[in-house]
Amino acid sequence: MAAALPWRRRETKKIANYRGLSFTTEVVQQLVVPTFVLDAEGKVIVWNKACETLTGMASGEVLGTRNHWRAFYGIERPCLADLMVEDRLEEIDHYYPIYHQSLEVAQGVHTENWCVMPLRGNQLYLEIDAGPIRDEEGNIVAVVETLRDMTLRQSAESRLRTMFECSPDPVWIIEDGRFVECNDSAIHTLGYASKDQFLNTHPSQLSPPVQPDGEDSYSKAERMMALARDKGLHRFEWIHTRADGSTFTAEVTLSVIDLAGRQAIYCAWRDISDRKRAEDALRLYAKVFENSGEAILITDRSNRIIAVNQALERDSGYCPEELLGKDPRVLSAHKTPRETYQLMWAALRESGYWQGELWDLRKDGMIYPKWAAISAIHDAKGELTNYIASFTDISERKAAEARIDHLAHHDALTGLFNRYSLENRLAQSLLAARRENQQLAVIFIDLDRFKVINDTLGHHVGDLLLIEVANRLSECVRESDIVARLGGDEFVVTLTSLANDMDAALVAKKIVATLGDTYEIDGKQLHTTPSVGISLFPANGEDVDTLMKNADTAMYHAKEKGRNNFQFFSPAMTAAATERLELERDLRSALANSEFELHYQPQVCATQNLVRGVEALIRWRHPERGLIPPLKFIPIAEETGVIEAIGTWVLNEACRQMAAWRQAGFDLQHVAVNLSAHQLRSPDLVSQVQAAIAHFGLSPGELELEITESVAMEDPERAIGQLRALRDSGVELAIDDFGTGYSSLAYLKMLPIHTLKLDRAFVRDIESDENDAAISAATLALARNLGLRVVAEGVETEAQRDFLSSHACNLLQGYLFGKPEPADVLSAHWQGSLSMPRRATN
Ligand code: C2E
Ligand code: MG
Ligand code: MG
C-alpha cells in the first residue's frame, strides 16, 4: 500500500532551503486548531497555542526536540507526522486502527486514535491529520499534524455502536440496496459464522425466491425499501432463508437514517416464527371451536360467558350477543336438581372437572336434556381463569332410553302396564296401603267369548278390540290406579287408597257397563262383555300373589254366574255390594214414588218432663225391603246427589207438620231438621229455608236446623257465612253429635248457633265412665257460660236423665221419652197427655 502513496519522499533537503517554511510556521502558530509541525529530521519546529492547551505541554518544552510523543502516549512511539517524515507510511495501520487517505489532494493522511495524554491525565479520542510540506522539487521539508478532540462524539458513537452490536434483535444497515453492516444477532439468526459471508448482498439473496404472497423476493424487497424511503418508516413480514436453507418469518422494520450525510436504511428484524405458529395454532383452535359438533361455551373466572360456538347457538337457539356477559344459568330450565349443581361446583373446585346431565331451556321454550363436561382452566400461577363447558344434546338418547324402558314395562299392543310392572307396582301400593291403613282392590277382568271374535274376524280386529278395551278401562279409573294387561284378553285394574269396599263395586260396575257397550271396529259393530273378579286388601289377602289369585277366583265366579257381571272374592261382600247398588238404583225413584216419611222424636224439658220440641228423622219405606233407616241410604243419597231433592222434601214436610201441630193446639216450641253436608254447601239453602218458613207461616225459632260437628268443620268460613244468613232468617241452629269431632268450644263460639246436641256416645257412658261424666259436666257448664242450650241425645235410663238434669241440661231426647214415630202416632199419644202442654186456643 505504501508503495502506491503519491507523497513518497524523493529526497531530503535542508529546511532552510525552503523559503515558504517560515511563512507556514507563522500561519500555524496562529491557527486555533491544535497543530504542530516537524521538520525533515523529525524535530518539533512549531507547537501552537491550541496544541499547548490540548496537550498540556508548553512549546518551550518540546520545540527543537523529538519528545512530542510524551504529550500523547505513556511509552515512546511514533506519531503520524513521524511516520510521514521517516517515510514509514506502511506502518500506519499498525499504530492506527482507523485511517484513510482522505486528503488525497493535499496528499495527507487521516487517522483516529485514543491517546493517553499523560500530562492531562485523561484519554482523548483524537482525529489526526497529517500533511507534508514540500519544496519545489517535491521533497518533504516538514510535516504538519493537526489534532481534533473527538472524545465526546466518539463516546456517543461508541454507545450507539454498543447498542447496535448488543441488540437482541437482528439489525442491519442497508445502503444502495445492499447490506453493509449488521450486528451479531443478525449473524446468528441467519446461521452464519461471520458477516463477511453475506455483507454486500441484496436482501433477496437471503430469502426464498418468492414471498408467501406470490411476489418475487427481489422486486418485493425493492418495493419495501422504496416505501420506507417514501414514508421514513415501513413495517412488513418477510420470509428469510438461513445459511442451512431453512426459512423463518421475520417482522421487518425499515427506517431511513442519515449516515454521515448519506441516506441509509436501518433494518430491524424480529423472528416471529413462534408467534406465527401460535397464531396458526390459535386459528386452528378457533376453527375447531367454531366447527365442533359439540356445543361449547367459555366463561371467565366469575362465570360470565365470553364465547359460544355455532353448535351452542344451534342447540340453544340463542345468538352470541344474547349470551355474552351473562351467567350460563340463563340457559337453564330450572329443572336440574339443586344437588346436581352443588356436586358440580364441588367437583370443579376439587378436581377442576365435572360431567353430568343438565336440563336446559331452548329460546323457543323447549326443555331438553344435555350431557355436560366442564373444566376449570388455570393459568401458569394456578389462578382460575376460565371455565370451558361442552354439551351434547341427549334428548334423542333419553327418548330412546325412555322407549326401551316403556317397552320393558308396558304391553306393546295396548300401552298398558305389563304383568311385571303390575306386580311391582302392586307390591309398592300394598306397602303404602299397609302404612296408611287403607284398603286396596285388585280387579281381574276377562272378556267373555273374546276367542270367538278373534277366530272369526281375525287377529287384526281382535287387536283393535283389545286396544279399545284398554282405552275404556283407563277411563274408568283414576290416574293413580293401575291398569295392566296380563296377556290375551286378561286385564287387571288395581284401585289404591280405597275409601270403602263399595268404591271397588262401583268401579267394577262401571267397568262391566263400559266394556259392555257396543264397539265400532273396522266398520263393524262388535259386542263383548267382561267377567270381573275383585279381591280386597287386607280382607282377601295381604300379598300380591294371594290377591291376584283370589281376584282370579272371583272372576271365575262371575263366569259361573253367567258372565257380564262382577263378583267379590267373598260372597257376603258381593251381596252387600249388590244391595247397595240396588238401593242406589231405587233411591232415584223413591221420592217420585212417595216412599219417604218423616218420624219425629220428642225433646223433653229435663226439669218439668214436658215435650218442648221434636226432631224430624227420615225413613224410607222400600216396597220390597220395608223400612230402611237413614244411615243406610243418606250416604248413598249424598254420593249420588239425590240428597238435594230429599233434603228439600224433608224441610217442607217438617215445616208443614209443625204448622199442623200448632194448628191442632199443641204447644210445641220447635221442630228440628237435619241438614246434610251437601245441603250446607248449596247456595240455594237460605232461600229454600226462607221460602218454607214463609210458606207454612212459622214464627222465628219454630224451625231448628241441625248440622253435625264434622260438617260444620269441613269448611268453617263457608259454614259461618251460611249459618249467619240462616240465623238472620229467624232460624235456630244446632250442632249435632257434639263431642264426636274435634271442634273446641272456643271454635263453636264463633258459630252463630243456639243449641248443642251432646252425642249419644257420651250420654251412654255417663253412668259407667267417669271420664265421660266429667266431660259431659264440663261441656254443660261451658255451654251454659256461652249461653247455649244443650240437648242430650240417646237418653235411655233414669240415671242418665238424673245426671243430665242435675247438671242443668236443658232438653233430653232418647228412647226413655219415646222413639221416633210418625206424626199421627205422636199426635194421638199427646192428645190429653200431661207431658204435652196445649196452647190456649182462641
Ligand atoms: P241424629 O240426627 O243424631 O239423630 C239421632 C239418631 O239417634 C236417630 O237415628 C234416632 O233414632 C237415634 N236415637 C234417638 N234416641 C235414641 C236412643 O235412646 N237410643 C238409640 N240407640 N238411638 C236413639 P236415626 O233416625 O236412625 O237417624 C240417624 C241419623 O241419620 C241422624 O242422626 C241424622 O244424622 C241422619 N238423618 C235422619 N234424618 C235425616 C234427614 O232428614 N236428613 C238428613 N240429612 N239426615 C238425617
Ligand atoms: Mg239430628
Ligand atoms: Mg245426633
Q: Determine the distance separating the centroid of ligand 1 and the alpha carbon of 617, expressed in angstroms.
A: 6
Residues 6+ apart with CB under 8 A from 257: 173, 263, 264, 265, 266
Residues of the chain with pLDDT > 90, as a percent, come to: 54
Cell reading at 692: 218454607
Q: Tell me the C-alpha distance between 169 and 266, whole Å.
A: 12
Q: Which amino acid is at 682?
A: S
Q: What is the mean pLDDT of residues 202-207?
A: 90
Which range of 156-165, 166-175, 589-598, 600-609 scores highest in mean pLDDT? It is: 589-598
pLDDT score, position 104: 53
CA–centroid distance, 623 to ligand 3, in Å, is: 27
> Residue 25: pLDDT band by 50, 70, 90 thresholds?
confident
Whether 332 has a pLDDT exceeding 70, the answer reads: yes
Distances, alpha carbon 243 to alpha carbons 195, 201, 210, 273, 810, in Å: 12, 13, 17, 17, 128
Report residue 669 as a C-alpha cell.
216450641
DSSP-H helix ranges across 72-200: 80-85, 92-95, 151-166, 184-190
Nearest CA to ligand 1 atom 7: 794
pLDDT for res 153: 82
Distance CA 104, CA 833 (A): 173
618 lines ligand 1 (CB under 6 A): yes
Q: Where are the beta strands (DSSP E) in 325-383?
A: 353-361, 367-378
- Determine which residue's CA is closest to atom 42 belonging to ligand 1: 674
CB of 628 closer than 8 Å to CB of 619:
yes
Model pLDDT, residue 746:
67
The minimum-distance atom of ligand 1 relative to the CA of 647 is 42
User: Got the DSSP string for 514-568?
Assistant: HHHS-EEETTEEE---EEEEEEEETTT-SSHHHHHHHHHHHHHHHHHTTSSEEEE
Report the atom number in ligand 1 closest to the C-alpha of 737.
3
What integer is the mean pLDDT of 93-121?
79
Ligand number nearest CA of 734 is 2
| Residue 297, C-beta contacts closer than 8 angstroms, at least 6 positions apart | 305, 307, 308, 309, 312, 323, 328, 388, 389, 390, 391
pLDDT at 20: 62
Q: Higher confidence at residue 573 or residue 553?
A: 553
Across the range 679-706, mean pLDDT stands at: 93
Quote the distance between the C-alpha of residue 459 and its chain's center. 50
Count CB-CB contacts under 10 A for residue 69.
17
Distance 704 CA to ligand 1 centre (A): 15
In the chain, what is the greatest distance between 2 CA atoms, to the nearest angstrom?
197
**Cβ of 602 below 6 Å from ligand 1:** no
Helices (H), 63-141: 80-85, 92-95
pLDDT score for 16: 44
Nearest 5°: phi and psi at 521?
Answer: -130, 125
Cα–Cα distance measured from residue 719 to residue 707, given in angstroms and rounded to the nearest whole number = 10
Are residues 482 and 417 in contact, defined by beta-carbon separation less than 8 angstroms?
yes
How far apart are the CA of 342 and the centre of ligand 2, in A?
60
| pLDDT value for 140 | 86
Neighbours of ion ligand 2 (CB under 5 A): 674, 706, 736
Residues 581-600, mean pLDDT to the nearest whole number = 93
The distance in angstroms from the start CA to the end CA of the chain is 175
Q: What pLDDT does residue 575 have?
A: 84
The mean-pLDDT minimum among 129-133, 414-418, 687-691 falls in: 129-133
What is the average per-residue pLDDT within 316-341? 91
- Comparing 19-33, 345-359, 373-387, 827-841, the range with the smallest average pLDDT is 19-33
> Is pLDDT of 306 > 90?
yes
| pLDDT interval class at 744 (50, 70, 90) | low
Given a cut of 50, whether residue 15 has pLDDT beyond it is: no
User: At which residue does the C-alpha cell 253435625 appear?
Assistant: 708
Query: Mean pLDDT over all residues of the chain?
Result: 88
DSSP code of residue 73: -
The pLDDT confidence band at residue 1, using thresholds 50, 70 and 90, is very low
Tell me: pLDDT of 628 over 90: yes
pLDDT category of residue 700 using cuts at 50, 70 and 90: confident
Would you place residue 796 in the very low, low, confident or very high pLDDT band (cuts 50, 70, 90)? very high
Mean pLDDT of 224-230: 93
Sign of the alpha-carbon torsion through 327, 330, 333, 334: positive
Residue with the smallest CA separation from ligand 1 atom 46 is: 674
Question: pLDDT > 70: what percent of the chain?
Answer: 96
Residue closest to 414 by CA, chosen among 352, 349, 467: 467
Cβ of 487 less than 6 Å from ligand 1: no
pLDDT band at 536 (very low <50, low <70, confident <90, very high): very high
Q: Is 629 a pocket residue for ligand 1 (Cβ < 6 Å)?
A: yes
| Strand boundaries in 291-364, DSSP class E | 295-300, 305-308, 353-361
* pLDDT for the residue 102: 54
Mean pLDDT, residues 212-234: 93
- 44-71 pLDDT, tens digit each: 999 999 999 999 999 999 999 999 999 9
For 341-392, the pLDDT digits (tens) are: 999 999 999 999 999 999 989 999 999 899 999 999 998 898 999 999 999 8
Predicted confidence at residue 561, as pLDDT, reads 87
The predicted-structure confidence for 286-303, as pLDDT tens digits, reads as follows 888 888 888 999 999 999
DSSP string, 164-207: HHH-SS-EEEEETTEEEEE-HHHHHHHT-S-GGGTTT--GGGGS
pLDDT at 4: 38
| pLDDT value for 9 | 44
Query: Is residue 616 within 8 Å of 675, Cβ to Cβ?
Result: no
**764's grid cell:** 251412654
pLDDT band at 87 (very low <50, low <70, confident <90, very high): confident
Nearest CA to ligand 1 atom 16: 794
814 close to ligand 1 (CB < 6 Angstrom): yes
- Find out whether the beta carbon of 603 lies less than 6 Å from any atom of ligand 1: no
Grid coordinates representing 171?
439489525
**Alpha carbons 202 and 222: distance in angstroms, whole number:** 9
Give 239-281 pLDDT, tens digit per residue.
Answer: 999 989 999 889 999 999 887 778 889 998 888 888 888 888 8
pLDDT of 2 above 70: no
Q: Strands 789-792 and 755-758, how do they pair?
A: parallel
At 486-535, the pLDDT tens digits run 989 999 999 998 888 788 999 999 999 999 999 999 888 999 999 999 99
- Å from CA of 688 to ligand 3 middle: 23
